[in-house]
């Protein structure tokens, strides 16, 4: 909005008038290309590392406090980039449209039964059962819905479904951003072990695992703009993060 633009301008009055010059950045990108001639593409860390290393040799940056500030900014960029690629890999893993639709339908059936104090029909046995609290909470916890707020969230979902139906619109898994994120994270959690990303780190991979990883790689290429090489790079990087147990929540 215009208000947002005015606020940004107010906060950054000297934007573009101080800081690292575009020429310095261009030079460091060129350095990275020369330094890694065998690589078909550059990854962000190659460039960021060159930007950081060059600070000690910049003729116009002699203030140690300023160098420290720039290094901290580069550290922030690396952290933000890591979160972005973790999220993209998670979404690529959980991009099973049929799987997420089944999970969504199951969740909505249980939420409806819970809110309306009804039973859920077990499609296998035909028995009427209580709403599956474990399933509902396993999804809601992915977006930090606390136990004390679960009833409010479930009623909010049901009210939204009702409002859409009045306009002859259908509530789908992407209709609510928070629920969509929770479903993606839940499906990722359910599928990540079967895909065995850790095998990328150990370089030990069976045919079935390779096929699953190739599917994830193709989703990264089609859905997020990677090429074959960069998709492989980012999968290896994120696999090393997940191997340490550092997972986006």
What pLDDT shows up at residue 114?
95
What pLDDT shows up at residue 239?
83
* Beta strands per DSSP E along 71-226: 120-121, 128-129
Reading the block at residue 245, the tokens are 């147990």
CA-closest candidate to residue 248, choices 112, 107, 142, 140 = 142
Cα–Cα dist 97/104, whole Å: 10
Q: Taking residues 122-148, what's their average pLDDT? A: 92
CA angle 204, 185, 157 (to 5 degrees): 160
Cα–Cα dist 109/123, whole Å: 12
Encode pLDDT of 68-112 as tens digits.
998 999 999 999 999 999 989 988 888 788 888 999 999 999 999
Cα–Cα dist 203/226, whole Å: 22
CA dihedral (217, 220, 221, 224) in degrees, to 10, reads: -170
* Residues 44, 209 contacting (CB under 8 angstroms): no
Encode pLDDT of 146-168 as tens digits.
999 999 999 999 999 999 999 99
- For the whole model, what pTM was predicted? 0.68
78, with CB counted inside 10 A (0-12, 13-18, 19+), is: middle
Cα–Cα dist 92/99, whole Å: 13
What pLDDT shows up at residue 196?
64
Residues in contact with 58: Cβ distance below 8 Å, sequence separation at least 6, in sequence order = 24
What pLDDT shows up at residue 27?
93
Supply φ then ψ for residue 101, to 5 degrees: -65, -40
CA dihedral (122, 128, 134, 138) in degrees, to 10, reads: 50
Whose tokens are 């396993």? That residue is 138
What pLDDT shows up at residue 200?
63
What pLDDT shows up at residue 131?
93
Q: How confident is the model at residue 199 (pLDDT cuts 50, 70, 90)?
A: low
What pLDDT shows up at residue 112?
94
CA 226 to chain centre: 15
What pLDDT shows up at residue 249?
47
Encode pLDDT of 19-56 as tens digits.
788 888 999 999 999 999 888 988 999 999 999 999 88
């Amino acid at each position: 909005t215009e208000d947002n633009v005015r606020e940004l301008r107010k906060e950054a009055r000297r934007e573009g008038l101080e800081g690292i010059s575009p020429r310095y950045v261009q030079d460091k990108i060129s350095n990275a290309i020369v330094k890694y001639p065998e690589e078909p593409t550059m990854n962000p860390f190659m460039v960021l590392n060159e930007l950081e290393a060059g600070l000690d040799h910049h003729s116009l940056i002699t203030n140690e406090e300023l160098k420290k500030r720039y290094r901290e900014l580069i550290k922030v960029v690396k952290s933000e980039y890591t979160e972005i690629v973790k999220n993209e890999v998670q979404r690529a893993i959980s991009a099973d449209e049929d799987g997420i639709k089944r999970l969504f339908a199951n969740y909505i059936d249980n939420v409806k039964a819970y809110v309306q104090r009804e039973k859920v029909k077990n499609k296998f046995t035909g028995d009427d059962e209580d709403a599956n609290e474990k399933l509902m909470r396993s999804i809601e916890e992915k977006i930090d819905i606390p136990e004390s707020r679960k009833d409010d969230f479930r009623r909010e979902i049901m009210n939204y479904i009702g409002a859409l139906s009045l306009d002859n619109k259908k509530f789908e898994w992407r209709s609510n951003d928070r629920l969509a994120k929770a479903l993606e994270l839940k499906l990722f959690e359910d599928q990540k072990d079967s895909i065995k990303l850790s095998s990328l780190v150990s370089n030990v991979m069976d045919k079935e695992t390779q096929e699953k990883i190739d599917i994830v790689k193709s989703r990264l290429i089609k859905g997020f703009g990677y090429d074959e090489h960069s998709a492989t790079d980012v999968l290896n990087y994120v696999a090393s993060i997940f191997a340490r147990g550092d997972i986006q929540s």
